[in-house]
């Protein structure tokens, strides 16, 4: 396998410079990661929709450890019918949207942020305050979602690559509206 361009990772932040030369196969694994995480969250959403009506109150009341920093907030949410109605729709629908976006590679950074936010909410709900249990699967998923966004995984074999180049007023979309870089990629 040969490539005409050299892969390079480089970042400077706060006086610290990180550099690396990833293998040419890295792009394939970024796509695989995007597809796997997209499938994971899509099927989580499909599972909730298939058992409609979905009800998150069981998790909010009984699935959250009392030592969790959000246990009171989640219990209050479960006790408020209007909030529960919203949560019961928002969770499965966003999971379907996030999963679909990641699989097709469209609006990947926005989808990855949404996935990371959900995983953060689940992580905080499941954390019992035990430092030995600090690292669990939802924390890992959160970091993976953030990595997918950071790698701009939608630009690799994804729809975002093409969306960014759509001409608007004679300019590529991403140049015409630079803030879209935060949701595409």
Q: SS in 3 state form for 146-161? A: HHHHHCCHHHCCCHHH
Q: What pLDDT score does 91 carry?
A: 94
Q: Would you say 165 and 175 are in contact if contact means Cβ atoms under 8 Å apart?
A: no
Average pLDDT in the 124-147 region?
Answer: 86
The kind and range of the H/E element at 172 are: strand 171-172
Over residues 74-126, the pLDDT tens digits come to: 888 888 999 999 999 999 999 999 999 999 999 999 999 999 999 999 888 88
Q: How confident is the model at residue 159 (pLDDT cuts 50, 70, 90)?
A: very high
Exposure class string for 50-79: b at 16+ Cβ within 10 A, else e: eeeebebbebbeeebbeebebbeebbebbe
Instruction: Report the alpha-carbon distance of residue 47 to residue 49 in Å, rounded.
Output: 6
pLDDT of 32-80, one tens digit each? 999 999 999 999 999 999 988 888 888 888 778 787 888 888 888 888 9
Split at pLDDT 50, 70, 90, the class of 182 is confident
User: Quick one: which of 165, 119, 157, 158 has its CA closest to 138?
Assistant: 119
pTM, two decimals, is 0.86
**Cβ(70)–Cβ(147) below 8 Å:** no
| Over residues 139-163, mean pLDDT | 93
């Amino acid at each position: 396998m040969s490539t005409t361009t050299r892969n390079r990772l480089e970042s400077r932040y706060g006086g610290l410079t990180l550099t690396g030369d990833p293998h040419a196969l890295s792009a394939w694994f970024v796509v695989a990661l995007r597809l796997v995480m997209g499938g994971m969250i899509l099927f989580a959403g499909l599972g909730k929709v298939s058992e409609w009506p979905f009800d998150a109150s069981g998790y909010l009341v009984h699935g959250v450890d009392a030592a969790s920093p959000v246990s009171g907030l989640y219990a209050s949410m479960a006790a408020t019918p209007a909030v529960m109605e919203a949560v019961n729709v928002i969770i499965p629908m966003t999971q379907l949207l996030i999963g679909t976006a990641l699989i097709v590679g469209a609006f990947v950074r926005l989808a990855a942020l949404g996935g990371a936010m959900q995983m953060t909410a689940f992580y905080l709900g499941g954390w019992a305050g035990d430092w030995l249990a600090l690292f669990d699967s939802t924390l890992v998923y959160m970091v993976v979602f953030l990595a997918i966004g950071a790698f701009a995984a939608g630009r690799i074999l994804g729809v975002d690559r093409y969306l960014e180049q759509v001409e608007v007023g004679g300019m590529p979309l991403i140049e015409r509206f630079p803030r879209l870089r935060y949701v595409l990629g």
